[in-house]
Amino acid sequence: MNKPQDRSHILTEKINPKSKNIDTLSTSEILTLINEEDAYIHKAINKVIPEISKAADFVHNAFRNGGRLRYIGAGTSGRLGVLDASECPPTFSVKPDLVQGIIAGGYRALRDAVEGAEDIPEKGAEDCKEHGLKSDDVLMGIATGGTTPYVHGAIKYANSIGCKTIFFTCTHKDNLNLPADVTIEVLTGPEIITGSTRMKAGTATKMVLNMITTTAMIKWGKVYGNYMVDHQAINVKLVDRGTRIISELAEVDRDIAYNTLIEADKHVKEGVVMAKLGVTFKEAKKLINQHDGFIRFAFKEKK
């Protein structure tokens, strides 16, 4: 292993003066301090809404034009990318290939540390190739400390094939020398435990990834009002939720809503349109497709 560079100048590696005596505090005092530090996260995110907005528009445009979203990262960053990707299919009824997370060291790294996996930039590029990254996709590199070679290699490869690139970090972007189409710099500050980016930086990562995919899905017609209408009811909880959504939006009683959901093969969006307009499953699907997936416009057909 080569001698490492000094990373003490990186924001996430700096020492937090508020927690210098944390090992002497009571349980309640430790928890209070952690909670107080977490309160800064939403303020840091709020400052970069324009960059997050640009990223969400990249993702939305990719989805509408046959592209996909790929997260890539190492350690906590990689795990959070895989987590957000895994939540998209059940939440928004999309194919598993639409959003995927790539983690240094492969899926074994989701549970175990894979030594040195993040230190090889060429491996980041190789993993992008193995996952079939295309020019119409979006690659979002996640490196809260900013310097992960694996992520840098992936971003540079994505740029070389004309893929839109997003880079997420919790340190100052000016020091990184990494060209991405948009860089999201969420400055959460030094961690309570020095360098432990699974804390504030990790929380900020989870929030921003949720914001990007959720916004892209809303703009893609996956939500009506604030209802999660484009999910398939694949378990008891989701059958109940789907029944309630149909009942409330179509203004029918619970039994009718449930029977409609079953008739719609447990697809909530089609079930809503069926109950609202009195059409068949086939007719509901056709009507939804004619309106680019937005059932708000399909509702107007009744007027």
Catalytic machinery residues:
87, 118
Residues 6+ apart with CB under 8 A from 20: none
Q: Where are the beta strands (DSSP E) in the chain?
A: 69-73, 99-103, 138-142, 164-169, 182-185
Residue 233 to residue 229: CA distance in whole angstroms: 10
First to last CA, the chain: 70
CA atoms within 13 A on the CB side of 143: 27
Cβ atoms of 233 and 239 closer than 8 Å: yes
Element at 28 (helix H, strand E): helix 27-38
Q: CA dihedral in degrees (188, 191, 192, 194; nearest 10)?
A: -170
CA atoms within 13 A on the CB side of 199: 21
Residue 148 structure tokens: 């992960």
Residue 124 to residue 114: CA distance in whole angstroms: 14
Strand 164-169 to strand 182-185: parallel, antiparallel, or no bridges (unpaired)? parallel
CA of residue 179 relative to chain centroid, distance? 21
Residues 6+ apart with CB under 8 A from 237: none
Give 252's DSSP letter.
-
At how many degrees (to 10) do helices 254-263 and 236-250 cross? 110
